[in-house]
Structure 1
Amino acid sequence: MHEDSDDFPVFDIKELKWDTETTETGEIHDIGIEERTIQSLGEIVAIADKHNMSVNIKECVLMEVQIDSAHIDISFNKSIFKEKIHFKSGVFNGKLNFWVSTFEEEADFSGAIFKEDIDFKDCTFHKEVNFFGTTFEKKAAFAFCDFKGETAFNGASFKEEVDFSGSTFRKKAIYNEAIFKKAVNLSRTLFEESLEIMGSNLPDMSQKEKEQTTQFNLSHELDKVFKKEVSRRQILRGLFRFLPEDREK
């Protein structure tokens, strides 16, 4: 994220007028917004939905986020959500990506239905996250996330594969009555406080990779270093944990 993100100019909804016009070939441009402060995402999504345009938001600061439904693909890349976000009880027919984004307040996805893939890879959640009763009809990815507040997936339904690998749940994680239809990747997932799974089939569907079979991916490790502020000592510790043990000792 850009160091001066607090000084990003405010995005004016009137700027979309050129994007909503058709080109000479009859095609409609998608909406791309970068390094701006977005006061109301709902208006942008409504316009994009009307014209069947995907929305690509990169390194932006988002204030009010309340979306009831969308039929389009929406991506948030390295963005910051400053206020509580509401996707509650909405129906989303397109793909949603929140890659490397930060949620500073509560995030409410309870009761929502996601009909396509949803990806929260490498996100940071500072407050509570609520997926109570949420339905994931396609793949759901929560890999390498940092959940600092209480996280609720109770009553959620996962119909395809789910990836929680490398994530850390620092407070209570609730999966009571959550149902998983396919495999769940919990490789190197940490539950630091407590994990509730009453009535859930999570233990039966989870796949934990054994430490000795973990494959070291240099490009992935370096990519994580650039995304986060990591000291040189931490980098070395992270790399050396993948080196094979000296069997002669």
Structure 2
Amino acid sequence: MPMFINVSIGLETSFQYINYMKHFVLVLLAFVQLSCATQNSSPGEDNSIKKLIIKDQPVYIENKTINDIVDFTFFLEKHLISEGVYQVNVKSGITFKKCIFKKPVTAFRKMVDGKIVLTSFQGNVSFIDCVFQDEVNFRGSRIMGRTDFTGSTFNDSANFEELNCYDNAYFNQCVFEGVSRFQNAFFNQKANFMSAEFDEVISFQNSMFNSELQFSASKFYKYADFTLVDCRGKVLFNYAEFTEKADFSHSIFAQDFHFVSTKNNTTNFNNCRFLGKVSFNKLDVLNTLSLNESYFLLDMPKIDVSSKKLIKNSN
């Protein structure tokens, strides 16, 4: 009889242990699922972006706040393209709409040894109505598809030096609150900066525009550098406002150039070449407009500026 009682107690204890383990496993599974769900809903999208890019799948993210650094040079393996220069090739189309980026967004990286990593995008690169709270760097990037930053705000510096856009590029209605750099950039198709605002210094020095360039109704609150630009298509700056100095010297305008109803402080077009029709009508000039040593292939245009403010010794 005592033996029977002991076995019964042992079995009861075993069942209790099994039930306890079942409850423990269920609680553990619930915790893991909750943890995964929390990770998937976190603001940082870096991990999910990387997974899509690795699989060459399109990236489309809307109405998200991104807390992680977005660095396209880390998502794929880099390849040597010249001495000290590497490149990653992103085949995925990239689209962000109405997103807020808390940390830097970059497609350029300089390593400790001085070597650099660039990014080549085979599809589109679109950041529509986004806010960049930290720096943005697409220096040396090649974008084969459409480039679209329409309506975006850059709270910090924006570096697009040596950018190569092979399709249409849209920066219309953008607000650049920090220093902006577009030196040595190349735009193969239309470049649209209509109604853009530049709060700090902006430079397009030595950039090439192979098609139409649109800057109408844009506002420049600090120095605007357009020296040495090569414009192969029509250029429009109608209703643009230059609060401080603007310099277009040593530039070439191969087709029609429209600079109508602009507001200027000191604007220079020295040693420029105008090969199409030129419009300098209804200008508002605070200090001077200089066209010294500039060449006009067609007739010298009518310039609506008082002789005291106009400097010209044109050919």
User: Scaled by the length of structure 1, what TM-score is found?
Assistant: 0.70
Q: Is the 8 A contact 1:131 1:156 kept in 2?
A: yes
1:121 to 172, 180, 185: 172
1:191 to 227, 234, 242: 242
Once residues 51 and 113 of structure 1 are traced to their aligned partners in structure 2, the CA distance between those partners, rounded to angstroms, is 15
Q: Is the 8 A contact 1:65 1:85 kept in 2?
A: yes
More divergent stretch after superposition (170-179 vs 195-204)? 195-204
Q: Which amino acid aligns with 1:34?
A: E
Question: Cα RMSD over matched residues?
Answer: 2.9
Once residues 122 and 157 of structure 1 are traced to their aligned partners in structure 2, the CA distance between those partners, rounded to angstroms, is 21
Identity rate, percent: 21
Q: Is the 8 A contact 2:95 2:126 kept in 1?
A: yes
Alignment CA distance shift 1:72-1:173 (3 Å) = same
* Equivalent residue, structure 1, for 2:99: 60
Tell me, what secondary structure is at the counterpart of 1:193? Answer: coil
Q: Is the 8 A contact 1:9 1:37 kept in 2?
A: no
Once residues 221 and 72 of structure 2 are traced to their aligned partners in structure 1, the CA distance between those partners, rounded to angstroms, is 34
Answer 1 or 2: higher relative contact order, Cα 8 Å, separation at least 6.
Answer: 1
Once residues 107 and 60 of structure 1 are traced to their aligned partners in structure 2, the CA distance between those partners, rounded to angstroms, is 17
Runs of 4+ deviating beyond 6 Å: none
Q: More strand by proportion, 1 or 2?
A: 2
1:80 to 120, 126, 131: 131
More divergent stretch after superposition (52-61 vs 97-106)? 52-61
Once residues 64 and 73 of structure 2 are traced to their aligned partners in structure 1, the CA distance between those partners, rounded to angstroms, is 13
Q: Is the 8 A contact 2:53 2:75 kept in 1?
A: no
Structure 1 residue 58, shift from structure 2 partner: 1.1
Alignment CA distance shift 1:125-1:80 (3 Å) = same
Mapping of residues 156-171 of structure 1, within 5 Å: 156-171=207-222
Q: Output one character per residue of 1:98-132: Cα deviation in whole Å (capped at 9) or x when no partner.
A: 01100011111112211111101100000111111
Structure 1 residue 12, shift from structure 2 partner: 3.2
Count of residues paired in the alignment: 198
User: Scaled by the length of structure 2, what TM-score is found?
Assistant: 0.56
Structure 1 residue 82, shift from structure 2 partner: 1.3
Q: Which amino acid aligns with 2:100?
A: V
Alignment CA distance shift 1:200-1:96 (3 Å) = same
Alignment CA distance shift 1:16-1:201 (3 Å) = closer
Matched, 1:31 2:59: yes
Give unpaired runs (5+ residues) of structure 2: 1-40, 77-87, 108-117, 263-315
* Equivalent residue, structure 2, for 1:149: 200
Q: Which amino acid aligns with 1:104?
A: N
Structure 1 residue 45, shift from structure 2 partner: 9.2
Tell me, what secondary structure is at the counterpart of 2:61? Answer: strand
More divergent stretch after superposition (112-121 vs 162-171)? 112-121
Tell me, what secondary structure is at the counterpart of 1:176? Answer: coil
Structure 1 residue 186, shift from structure 2 partner: 1.0
